[in-house]
Amino acid sequence: MKFTKLALSASLILLCLTSQASDNEKRPHETVTPNFMREIPNIPGKSMITAVVTYPPKGASPSHHHAKSAFIYAFVLEGEIRSSVDGSAPRIYKAGESWYEDPGAHHTVSENASDSKPARLLAVFIVDTGDKQLTVPDGQ
């Protein structure tokens, strides 16, 4: 089954829309920009999806889980990102640093560590090809 641009758009729009729901509506939200999507030819049933996540100063994502099949690699492109996964102590990752999230991980903190400068990261998902909703805010 080949992915179309429509499927890419639909999946990443869901990523964007679900990441907008937040218990803290006063903080600026992240912006998610679709980057790449492709079935992995030598791993049947798996696809790679990438997106650039941009946080304005003081920006944050709500606490969330990703698709249960999703293995995620995050690489900081610009600025500093504060992140905590599965109850780990929050850590600040600077441009050039990275982390990963195992399938089913709980991402409790994902935010710009700066009050004055933007931050960006590249999120790389290895996910079951049929998964449509990549991000689910807590409580949904």
Q: Give the whole-angstrom CA distance, residue 84 versus residue 72.
A: 14
Domains of the chain: 5-137 (2.60.120.10)
Q: What is the mean pLDDT of each run of 10 residues along the chain (140 residues)?
A: 48 46 67 95 97 97 92 98 95 97 93 97 96 84
For the chain, give the DSSP string.
----HHHHHHHHHHHHHHTT--S-TTSPBPEEEEEEEEE-TTSTTEEEEEEEEEE-TT-B--SEEE-TT-EEEEEEEESEEEEEETTPPPEEEETT-EEEE-TT-EEEEEEES-SSS-EEEEEEEEEETT----EEETT-
Q: Give the whole-angstrom CA distance, residue 137 versus residue 92.
A: 22
For the whole model, what pTM was predicted?
Answer: 0.82
pLDDT value of position 139: 81
pLDDT value of position 25: 59
